[in-house]
């Protein structure tokens, strides 16, 4: 990969999120090892890698479910890297800092509810976590609990009488209806979430996350278990979210086809270490990525005919092309 091609990478100039020198240790296991990457504002960024590579752990650290053992994670409202604001927050021990240019948030210092409500970084889970006994609409209203409670003044009187609460309630319902419509589930608004087929539950989770109006939407394997048709619909939905709401999307994905089709930027993890980082074309032809995905780390093994065939399918290149760089 040439330095020249790196300099055109937009995510370096306008990162909505940066992970810097992050490590996460579970007892004796170093699940993430000194990981750094940027997520460009408005980009679809994919985090890929074999099972156990540490992808979900990265999400858990970014969204506050785990506190990383080491490292800094910065989210930015407003444009540009806002270096001075980040340094100010870091040295003053603050969780966030606002300036005329925007605001920066040090996520490793924030609990999960602040990360979603204030920093506006929202997520879905690898294993669906909906309230299965509640209706679709209720699931989306619960997600908006915070603005509703603020509007009530945190009193029962507020909930029963205040105009501000009625207005907030109406806005929350309208937002829920908007997202139910856009994920194609408005007709099922009053059904229990647990009664939905699997693919619909995955889309409902995305709708729930979008009700938080996130700046960054983190999706953990949203296409897992979907059929090709549902997977194609999901790609359209992600593009719609990015294009009409300007939401930056950080996506964990297993399916290389999905990743290469929709991603502006691809980051590859293997054993908790970043092994490649670039646009789809660069990453696809990186021999380290091919080796990690096919479980080969030595050119000699690529001479096995089945492996060679897989390799050509993944990279579209012959052995010679895949090997020289
Ligand atoms: N809470 C935890 N406690 C101990 N080990 C964990 C925990 N979460 C993840 N790990 C380990 O960290 C490594 C990375 O896991 P994970 O982030 O789930 O990988 P991926 O999502 O890429 O498949 C694995 O070896 C996994 O067993
Ligand atoms: Mg995972």
Q: Identify the band that residue 93 occupies on the pLDDT scale cut at 50, 70 and 90.
A: very high
Q: Decide if 93 contacts 70 (C-beta within 8 A).
A: no
Cα 291 to ligand 2 centre (Å): 20
Which pLDDT does position 102 carry in this prediction? 94
Residue scoring higher pLDDT (166 or 95): 95
**Is the CB of 56 inside a 6 Å radius of any atom of ligand 1?**
yes
Which pLDDT does position 302 carry in this prediction? 45
Strands across the sheet with 265-270, in order?
121-123, 216-220, 248-252, 44-48, 265-270, 273-278
Residues 106-130 pLDDT 10s: 999 999 999 999 999 999 887 778 8
**Is the CB of 54 inside a 6 Å radius of any atom of ligand 1?**
yes
3-state helix, strand, coil in the chain (%, to 5): 50, 20, 30
Ligand 1, atom 5: nearest CA belongs to which residue? 26
Rounded to a whole number of angstroms, the distance between the first and last alpha carbons of the chain is 8
Specify the ligand 1 atom closest to the Cα of 126: 21
Domain positions in the chain are: 1-120+213-284, 130-212, 290-325
**Is the CB of 127 inside a 6 Å radius of any atom of ligand 1?**
no
> Within 10 A of 96 (CB to CB), how many other CB atoms are there?
19
CA distances from 197 to 109, 136, 188, 202 (A): 38, 13, 11, 9
Share of the chain above pLDDT 70, in %: 83
Q: Which of 185, 210, 186, 189 is nearest to 199 (CA)?
A: 185
Residue 65 has pLDDT above 50, yes or no: yes
| The architecture CATH gives domain 1-120+213-284 | 3-Layer(aba) Sandwich (3.40)
How many Å separate Cα 197 from the centre of its chain? 23
Mean pLDDT calculated for residue range 264-287: 92
Predicted model pTM: 0.85
Mean pLDDT calculated for residue range 1-25: 79
Which mutation among 19, 23, 24, 26 tests ligand 1's pocket best, with the greatest number of atoms within 8 A of CB?
Answer: 26
């Amino acid at each position: 990969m040439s330095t020249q091609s790196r300099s055109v990478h937009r995510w370096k100039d306008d990162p909505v999120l940066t992970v810097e020198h992050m490590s996460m240790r579970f007892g004796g296991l170093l699940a993430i090892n000194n990981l750094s990457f940027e997520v460009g504002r408005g980009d679809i960024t994919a985090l890929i890698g074999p099972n156990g590579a540490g992808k979900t752990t990265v999400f858990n650290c970014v969204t506050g479910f785990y506190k990383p053992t080491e490292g800094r994670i910065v989210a930015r409202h407003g444009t540009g890297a806002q270096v001075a604001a980040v340094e100010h927050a870091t040295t003053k021990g603050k969780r966030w800092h606002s300036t005329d240019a925007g605001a920066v948030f040090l996520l490793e210092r924030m609990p999960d509810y602040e990360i979603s409500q204030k920093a506006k970084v929202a997520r879905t889970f690898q294993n669906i976590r909906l309230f299965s006994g509640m209706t679709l609409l209720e699931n989306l209203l619960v997600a908006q609990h915070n603005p509703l409670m603020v509007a009530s003044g945190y009193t029962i009187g507020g909930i029963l009488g205040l105009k501000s609460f009625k207005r907030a309630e109406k806005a929350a319902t309208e937002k829920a209806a908007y997202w139910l419509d856009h994920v194609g589930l408005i007709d099922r608004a009053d059904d229990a979430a647990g009664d939905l087929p699997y693919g619909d539950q995955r889309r409902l989770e995305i709708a729930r996350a979008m009700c938080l109006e996130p700046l960054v939407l983190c999706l953990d394997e949203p296409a897992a278990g979907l059929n090709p048709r549902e997977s194609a619909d999901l790609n359209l939905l992600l593009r719609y979210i990015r294009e009409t709401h300007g939401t930056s999307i950080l996506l964990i994905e297993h399916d290389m086809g999905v990743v290469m089709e929709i991603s502006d930027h691809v980051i590859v993890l293997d054993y908790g270490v970043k092994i490649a980082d670039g646009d789809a074309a660069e990453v696809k032809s990186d021999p380290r990525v091919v080796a990690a995905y096919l479980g080969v780390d030595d050119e000699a093994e690529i001479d096995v005919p089945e492996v060679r065939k897989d390799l050509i399918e993944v990279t579209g290149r012959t052995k010679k092309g895949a090997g020289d760089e």
